[in-house]
A and B are shown apart, each in its own frame.
Chain A
Amino acid sequence: GAVVSQHPSRVICKSGTSVKIECRSLDFQATTMFWYRQFPKQSLMLMATSNEGSKATYEQGVEKDKFLINHASLTLSTLTVTSAHPEDSSFYICSARTSGGDYYEQYFGPGTRLTVT
């Protein structure tokens, strides 16, 4: 149980184009999903927190107009990188949080490798 999928796993796009990444919780409902960015050999950097049906909360320094997040259902969140540039190249990972009981376990997707040329 507690499987999170991401699509695509890898994407290469040209500078100036937009890319959409999907995150799905396959066997549970996730009221909250998170989007992280990870640079090589570094820890996970939280970009934003999204709750189903409401606007995402972005971390300080993350441009909300560049990284558009939509959490339209309890099993799907999307991250759109708009007008991508080479510096946006990174490993993007989503996670989904269960909501049963007192504590909230968080499960991660397999990640999406974005390369902007």
Chain B
Amino acid sequence: GENVEQHPSTLSVQEGDSAVIKCTYSDSASNYFPWYKQELGKGPQLIIDIRSNVGEKKDQRIAVTLNKTAKHFSLHITETQPEDSAVYFCAASRRYGNKLVFGAGTILRVKS
């Protein structure tokens, strides 16, 4: 089955700097890769996702890149702000609705 590894487990950055979180997956048939942000005591919020037919997707300060050959994908947050502090989870699944497999999560702390 699918296995998703996520690094780093914690990341501290200065406000305004960029943050990068990386994930690798094992199932070459996976082709849907969402990223979730979870604030303390709340449910995960879908912030961006990428399908296998593209290599990069951007939404304002957030971008995700996908390298299908190497089986890894990354979340990039630019101009970080204190409100970006949260736990971020990557996930992977196959097309047509197989269950999501989550990474272990990354605690992002943005210091002001």
Which of A2, A34, A107, A113 touches B99 (beta carbons < 8 Å)? Answer: A34
Q: Are A109 and B89 in contact (CB under 8 A)?
A: no
- Give B72-102 as 1s and 0s: 1 = Cβ < 8 Å from A's Cβ atoms: 0000000000000000010001011101101
**Closest CB in chain B relative to A7 CB, distance in Å:** 13
Chain A interface residue count: which class? 20 to 34
- Give A9-53 as 1s and 0s: 1 = Cβ < 8 Å from B's Cβ atoms: 000000000000000000000001010000000111010010000
**B51 at the binding interface (Cβ < 8 Å):** yes
Q: Are B46 and A102 in contact (CB under 8 A)?
A: no
Chain B interface residue count: which class? 20 to 34
Q: Are A44 and B95 in contact (CB under 8 A)?
A: no
Q: Are B100 and A113 in contact (CB under 8 A)?
A: no
Q: B residues within 8 A CB of A104? A: 32, 93, 96-97
Q: A residues within 8 A CB of B43? A: 4, 6, 93, 95, 108-111
Q: B residues within 8 A CB of A32? A: 97
Q: B residues within 8 A CB of A103? A: 32, 51, 95
**A63 at the binding interface (Cβ < 8 Å):** no
**Closest CB in chain B relative to A26 CB, distance in Å:** 14
Q: B residues within 8 A CB of A2? A: 46
**What are 26 sample pairs from A and B whose C-beta atoms fall under 8 A apart?**
A4-B43, A6-B43, A42-B105, A43-B102, A44-B44, A44-B102, A46-B99, A46-B100, A93-B43, A95-B43, A97-B97, A99-B97, A102-B96, A103-B32, A104-B96, A104-B97, A105-B34, A105-B46, A106-B100, A108-B36, A108-B43, A108-B45, A108-B46, A109-B43, A111-B41, A111-B42
Q: Which residues of B contact A (CB under 8 A)?
A: 32, 34, 36, 41-46, 49, 51, 89, 93, 95-97, 99-100, 102-105
